[in-house]
Structure 1
Amino acid sequence: MAGVAPDQVMQCPDNEVCTSLLKFCMPRGVIAPSCISEADVTCPSCDGSSLFVCTSRTTFQMCNGNQLTSQVTRCKENTYCSIGLNEFCVDRCAILRSNTGFQCDRETPLEG
């Protein structure tokens, strides 16, 4: 969490997730977590069937078969990656209307 000292962030025990309920931590699978760490985010990968995949909320990359190419393309300001909606980048309203959420809910693409 940016701007918060690490010793001030409450951690849930293993196999539990944080919630916005009165009980901060609950067993994984009982309720959807209200906060997700970057490590828990699953994003589309190159599987040989897609030419592009979202690699963060605002970036996408081209696939070369099963591998990502090195060039990261950024959506213009106030738009979000939405390859599943048959566009590269759309405004937030289109994401909300689709009821699918972000295809890759990361701040930035993973390195490597």
Structure 2
Amino acid sequence: MALRGIKKWLFLILQVTVCIYFFLNSTSAECNVCQENQVACINSTSFYLCFGDSNPNMDVLYHCKEGFECTEFNAICLQASATRAPSCGSTSLCGQCTAQANALFACLSRTTFQMCYGAVRPTGQVGYCPSGFVCDATSDAICVSTAGEYTVTCDVVDSSTETTTTTSTSTTQTTIATSTIPLTPNEVCAQQTRSGLYPTMPNDPFCKRYIHCRNMRGVEYSCAPNTYFSIESKACTIDQPAYCT
């Protein structure tokens, strides 16, 4: 009996030690920023590869399998754990009208939203927060300035990048900053080499919306009820991908 009690205490001590290890050895990583394991998590389950660069390569978006989360560890995707948060915030409230006290709107990402009008699911046109603002469901203002207090409701980083080009002369130095905002259907299709179905940019977290490209021009559509747009198969399917909200 005494031996069983000792084993129980040793097991509890081991659990506490593991928790402390993960706490001390994990960092609070930023979304869409290259980590030491050479990946940039864009939400709790999806990531880009970095290939030794300081900026992620956005040619291919990878997804952890169901029940796993994107982390800063070498294994990249680890089984979801209550004692270890993912590298890039929570996506559980993405697209949820109930996340907002008055069900006015739902945050689709850090900077995009849709109106709810008291319904369970958001509908209509996707809105975009201005630069320096994030979608915050704790406020009726929808977009809240990052200069003050705010809460990131849906920690999904839009597929946007910012580059800075510096031009020097003998007397002046000019810095030009350019940023890529969410793309229109025609802009999405301009990046493709053939006709077909492609995901919106940024990706729709509900996997409902997609772009139909034909002759370099695009139109946005939605999948039929109870079907989801699969990025891998580039079609609407009855199977919900693990990365869909």
TM-score interval, normalised by the smaller of the two chains: 0.5 to 0.7
d(CA) in 2 for partners of 1:32 and 1:17? 9
1:63 to 112, 116, 121: 116
Number of aligned residue pairs: 101
Q: TM-score, normalised by structure 2?
A: 0.33
Whether the 8 Å CA contact 2:106–2:115 is kept in 1: the answer is yes
1:104 to 154, 173, 177: 154
Whether the 8 Å CA contact 2:104–2:140 is kept in 1: the answer is no
Q: TM-score, normalised by structure 1?
A: 0.61
Higher relative contact order (CA 8 A, sep 6+): 1
d(CA) in 2 for partners of 1:87 and 1:69? 18
| Structure 1 vs Structure 2 CA RMSD | 3.3
Q: CA deviation at 1:83?
A: 3.0
Matched ranges for 1:1-112 at <5 A: 1=48, 3=57, 15-21=67-73, 26-29=78-81, 30-35=83-88, 41-42=91-92, 43-47=94-98, 49-64=102-117, 65-94=119-148, 97-98=149-150, 100=151, 102-106=152-156, 107=158, 108=202, 110=204, 111=209, 112=222
Q: Which runs of 4+ in 1 moved over 6 A?
A: 11-14
Q: Which has the higher strand share?
A: 2
d(CA) in 2 for partners of 1:53 and 1:13? 25
**Bigger Rg, which one:** 2
Q: CA deviation at 1:14?
A: 6.5
List runs of 5+ in structure 2 lacking aligned partners: 1-47, 49-55, 159-201, 210-221, 223-245
